[in-house]
């Protein structure tokens, strides 16, 4: 069976939805990429779920705590909701082998480019890989998505709204054509 509808967008955080200002963690670090808030509003309107999969090695490096990451995510979620959008879930990997904070210094399965975060999101959102898209600004994002069987696209740092909507249209159109053949 060939799917005809994208049901889940999996986003990297830094450099994709928000600017990568070098370990963004404070309100003053939160700058949305052009089109990202409009995109999240449009996805909500279309009833397409949106989630985030983000490596946050700053925790393992001792730059900030897991609680600070969660507070930053709450700030993001507030701004997204205020703009009319929605994020269903955020998965983070705080690990980095050889890092300063020993508790987080490990070779885990969740750190991208490994697919564990993506697989967890697919499972929790009850979505098959064929009905999902991964968007990220690094090769590790793309490798994680592809390893999980998800169509994955390297974001070109322009307007994310136009970029993502064109990918949804492209995939849904090609899926419809495949099912008609």
117 contacts 75 by C-beta, under 8 angstroms: no
Q: Has 12 been annotated as catalytic? A: yes
pTM comes to 0.93
Per annotation, catalytic residue among 14, 29, 137, 141: 14
Q: Has 14 been annotated as catalytic? A: yes
Question: CATH no. for residue 76?
Answer: 3.40.50.1000
Would 180 be classed as within a structural domain? no
Q: Quick: pLDDT tens for 10-67.
A: 999 999 999 999 999 999 999 999 999 999 999 999 999 999 999 999 999 999 999 9
State the pLDDT confidence band at 158, using cuts at 50, 70 and 90: confident
Max CA distance (Å), the chain: 55
**Count of the separate structural domains present in the chain:** 1
* Residue 175 predicted with pLDDT over 70: no
**Domain range holding 89?**
1-7+16-127+147-155
Would 168 be classed as within a structural domain? no
């Amino acid at each position: 069976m060939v799917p005809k509808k994208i049901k889940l967008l999996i986003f990297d955080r830094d450099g994709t939805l928000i600017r990568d200002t070098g370990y963004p963690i404070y309100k003053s670090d939160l700058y949305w990429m052009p089109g990202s808030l409009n995109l999240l509003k449009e996805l909500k309107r279309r009833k397409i779920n949106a989630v985030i999969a983000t490596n946050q090695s700053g925790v393992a490096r001792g730059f900030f705590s897991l609680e600070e990451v969660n507070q930053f995510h709450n700030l993001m979620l507030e701004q997204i909701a205020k703009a009319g959008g929605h994020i269903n879930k955020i998965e983070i990997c705080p690990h980095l082998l050889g890092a300063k904070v020993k508790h987080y210094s490990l070779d885990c399965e969740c750190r991208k480019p490994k697919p564990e975060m993506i697989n967890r999101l697919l499972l929790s959102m009850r979505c098959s890989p064929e009905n999902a898209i991964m968007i990220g600004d690094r090769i590790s994002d793309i490798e994680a998505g592809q390893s999980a069987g998800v169509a994955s696209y390297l974001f070109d740092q322009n307007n994310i709204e136009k970029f993502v909507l064109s990918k949804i249209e492209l995939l849904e159109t090609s899926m419809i054509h495949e099912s008609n053949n």
